[in-house]
Amino acid sequence: VDPKQRITEKARELGFEAVAFARADLPLEDDYARYEAFLAGGMHGSMDWLASNREARRRVDTDHVLAGAKTVICLAQPYARGVDDEANDPPVASAIARYARGRDYHNWLRRRLRRLATFVRALGTAEAPVEARPLCDQEPVLERAWAARAGLGFVGKNGLLIVPGVGSLVLLGEVVTTLEVEPDSPIPERCGACTRCLDACPTGAFARPFVLDARLCIAYLTIENRGPIPTELRPAVGARLFGCDECQTVCPFNARARTPLLPHRPVDPRFLPEPRWGELDMAALLSLDEAGFAALREGSPVGRARLEGLARNAAVVMGNARDERHRSALVRAKEGHPSEIVREAATWALAQLDEVTDSRPRRSCSSSPAPCTCSSCRT
């Protein structure tokens, strides 16, 4: 049987929804130029690691990735769930980007990719050995560019790889191999006149269609950024604790996957919200200690934000919620959190609460007609 067919069948058996093949022995010219322009514009913010290993981002057929590589096998793992199903998620889970509510995909998707790589290697012989290397998220490879070259999908104006019939709520993985397989063709972009993602982005993070300024993206601000969230961007973070899905929620290419009752493959249960989210609220996240954080991050992608980042994000979410019930937790964090970044975020959040309190007629606890400002009247 044709190796392409065998690999495709194996990938589907392993649970991948879509598979496509790209030539690996040609460098990425246009996409590499876009990547260079992205760096030159400083759009990667503090993600210095994005600016390293540049040559590996241009070509995968050298020692940087896999010498002599001939093919990139591109794979998509969907994580979309029906809106009815999501409606039952605990509040903390709803504040987390969809891909991160369950188990950390880095562990289990990589295991699957390793199994596919083993399968591909086994297609070699003693005379013609085959090498294969799994890639997923962590290597310095432009995964969307390779997936677009393979025709796995097209890059939408939101910068995401959209798989026809499936949507963009997919994670990407690849197996790069020295095996020569007939490549598939890229498919044309299908956004047409639509601009919903650009219009819906809470922070206006798109420099132009297809180009994201990561410094403004809530995913960057809440996950990768190690400093304070810039004050002017905090209101736009809204109720988002970790990551953001807005530019995908509004995309018509995701409507089908999110519509209940339409026939599609059930989501892998590892994407369902972890039970731990049902036991927590924002105040608990703000006051996490090292032991609590260690338990929370176990097997979950949210650990990427670190304890300080999660507590910072929780404070910003609480400030945006302007809910008096959060006041005491915020005061405690302002006065006693070991991180200066968290103390400052809590101070900001308390100021948001005060703004609400100040604009409300106050109950007077004295005979004076002037509004009372004592702490018991404020709560």
> 119: which residues sit within 8 A by CB, 6+ positions away?
7, 10
Q: Please say whether the beta carbons of 297 and 288 come within 8 A.
A: no
* 203 near ligand SF4, rule: CB under 6 A: yes
* 169 near ligand SF4, rule: CB under 6 A: no
Nearer to ligand B12, 213 or 308 (CB): 213
* 217 near ligand SF4, rule: CB under 6 A: yes
Nearer to ligand SF4, 156 or 273 (CB): 156
* Catalytic position from the list 30, 84, 137, 358: 137
For the record, the structure tokens of 179 come out as 């095996």
If DSSP codes are grouped into helix, strand and coil, which group holds residue 165?
coil
Q: What burial letters (b/e) apply to 144-160, b meaning 16+ CB within 10 Å?
A: bbbbbbbbbbbbbbbbb
* Beta carbon of residue 16, minimum distance to ligand B12 (angstroms, whole number): 12
Q: Which residues, listed in sequence order, are joined to residue 212 by a DSSP beta bridge?
A: 206
* 166 near ligand SF4, rule: CB under 6 A: no
* 237 near ligand B12, rule: CB under 6 A: no
Please indicate whether residue 137 is annotated as part of the active site: yes
Site string for ligand SF4, 238-257 (x = CB under 6 A): ------x-xx--xxxx----
* 196 near ligand SF4, rule: CB under 6 A: yes
Q: Which of ligand SF4, ligand B12, none does 318 bind, CB closer than 5 to 8 A by kind?
A: none
Out of 155, 283, 317, 333, the residue judged to bind ligand B12 by CB under 6 A:
155
Alpha carbon distance 139, 22 (integer Å) = 18
Out of 71, 158, 313, 352, the residue judged to bind ligand B12 by CB under 6 A:
158
User: Among 8-16, 152-160, 171-179, 309-317, which window interacts with ligand SF4 (CB under 6 A)?
Assistant: 152-160
* 171 near ligand B12, rule: CB under 6 A: yes
* 161 near ligand B12, rule: CB under 6 A: yes
Q: Which of ligand B12, ligand SF4, none does 34 bind, CB closer than 5 to 8 A by kind?
A: ligand B12
Q: What residues from 238 to 277 belong to the interface with ligand B12 (CB under 6 A)?
A: 243-245, 247
| Number of residues written out for the chain | 379
Torsion angle (degrees, nearest 10) of CA 284, 290, 294, 296: 10
Backbone Cα Rg of the chain: 24
Strands 170-177 and 206-208: unpaired
Q: Which of ligand B12, ligand SF4, none does 201 bind, CB closer than 5 to 8 A by kind?
A: ligand SF4
The amino acid sitting at 347 is: T
Alpha carbon distance 111, 262 (integer Å) = 30
Q: Please say whether the beta carbons of 161 and 144 come within 8 A.
A: yes
Helix axes 327-336, 306-321, angle to 10 degrees: 140
Residue 39: C-alpha distances to residues 12, 213, 233, 286 (Å): 36, 10, 22, 33
Give residues in contact with ligand B12 (CB under 6 A).
31, 34-35, 38, 47, 50, 97, 99, 136-137, 141-145, 155, 158-161, 168, 170-172, 189, 210-212, 214, 217, 219-220, 223-224, 243-245, 247
Binding site for ligand SF4 (CB under 6 A): 156-158, 191, 194-197, 201-203, 205, 212, 217-219, 244, 246-247, 250-253
Where in the sequence numbering do the catalytic residues fall? Answer: 137
